[in-house]
Amino acid sequence: MNLNEKLKIYADVLEDELMSKHTTYRIGGRVKYYIYPRNLISLMRCIRLLKENKIQYEIMGRGSNVLWTDSYFDGAVINLDRYLNESYIEEDGTIVAQAGCSIINLAYEVAKKSLSGMEFATGIPGSIGGGVYMNAGAYKSDFSSILEAVMVLKDEQILWMQKDDLMFGYRKSSFQSHPDWIILAAKFKCKPGNREEILALMDSRRERRLASQPLDRPCAGSVFRNPETIPAWKIVDELGLRGFTLGGAQVSEKHSNFIINASGQAKAEDVKQLIAYIQEQAKEKFEIELITEVEHFNCE
């Protein structure tokens, strides 16, 4: 039995799959295997099989904060969203959600239970695993504000790691320096609130996002983290780069901290070069280091 056949015992496996189908940028070349493990045992077994065959792998969620290479990736992408996506909400506000759970869906389910704390997540299109990994946030709040612990697959052992041990900060966590740690689930704590008020706030924020961000175009959300002194979009505006185009990539006219795949045919290299150009200009003219939020996969 070859590797393909073994993997298919434990997972749904797509071979020679285009990554542009799995990223919100609609950018990305082919990968050897795109794998959806059917449960936790399947995930662990797939990882073991890949390691035994010396095949590199990456864990990815909904592809909403990702710039993936145009080149062929002779490895595997493991996606937890199809099967490892359950969530549980207790009456006292305790929430346990698997890594593949939709952030937006969970935020609304929590609100419907008259629980407050996830309002910030209304417009974050990723999955819980990616949200915790990046400590995603909005409206001066983020996942670390409600997080208690994270279930992690580490050295083939499953353990709960407490929030205080994971060095959360603005758009960062310990997971970014430990790519071998796989987020399986997270435990959150929310507080009682008024259901109607929470839902009204979330809906108004959603409307604001739709009005101010190019969510109808292929993009990956905010490109740069906000420096302490000035929002990233304002820096891009002051550089005169709103609407600036490089290849198929463009700084959005609607929100200048977004880069869109304007032509629908943009390459990862177009986006990468546009990001680098903005960073160079910000450094040269304002002596500001713009740090990206978008994760680069195999785009060295």
Q: Are 157 and 101 within one domain? A: yes
Contact call for residues 298 and 68 (beta carbons, < 8 A)? yes
Q: Are 38 and 147 within one domain? A: no
Q: Are 92 and 207 within one domain? A: yes
- Note the pLDDT tens digit of each residue in 166-215: 999 999 999 999 999 999 999 999 999 999 999 999 999 999 998 999 99
Query: At which of 55, 79, 103 does a domain end?
Result: 79
Domain count along the chain: 3
- Note the pLDDT tens digit of each residue in 14-67: 999 999 999 999 999 999 999 999 999 999 999 999 999 999 999 999 999 999
Residue 205 designated active-site: no
- Note the pLDDT tens digit of each residue in 213-254: 999 999 999 999 999 899 999 999 999 999 999 999 999 999
Separation of alpha carbons 233 and 125, rounded Å: 20
Structure tokens at 220: 């990956």
Structure tokens at 270: 């177009």
Beta-ladder partners of 153: 158, 182
Residue 293 designated active-site: yes
Q: Are 152 and 239 within one domain? A: no
Residue of 109, 148, 238, 293 marked active site: 293
Beta strands 182-189 and 191-192 are unpaired
What's the residue count for the chain? 300
Q: Are 31 and 64 within one domain? A: yes
Residue 171 designated active-site: yes
DSSP secondary structure, 162-189, as one string: EGGGS--BTTB-GGGG-TT-EEEEEEEE
Contact call for residues 251 and 259 (beta carbons, < 8 A)? yes
Q: Are 240 and 192 within one domain? A: no
Residue of 26, 62, 171, 217 marked active site: 171
Q: Are 292 and 196 within one domain? A: no
Q: Are 70 and 149 within one domain? A: no
CATH number of the domain encompassing residue 276:
3.90.78.10
* Structural domain that includes position 278: 214-297
Structure tokens at 72: 């062929």
Q: Are 222 and 293 within one domain? A: yes
Q: Are 286 and 250 within one domain? A: yes
Structure tokens at 106: 């969970």
Query: Which residues are within 8 A (CB) of 177 and not within 5 positions of it... i.e. 6 or more apart?
Result: none
Q: Are 165 and 237 within one domain? A: no
Query: At which of 150, 176, 211 does a domain end?
Result: 211
Among 55, 54, 52, residue whose Cα is nearest residue 32: 55
Residue of 42, 64, 102, 222 marked active site: 222
For the whole model, what pTM was predicted?
A: 0.93
Average pLDDT over residues 76-96: 98
CATH number of the domain encompassing residue 30:
3.30.43.10
Query: At which of 194, 211, 228 does a domain end?
Result: 211
Q: Are 94 and 69 within one domain? A: no
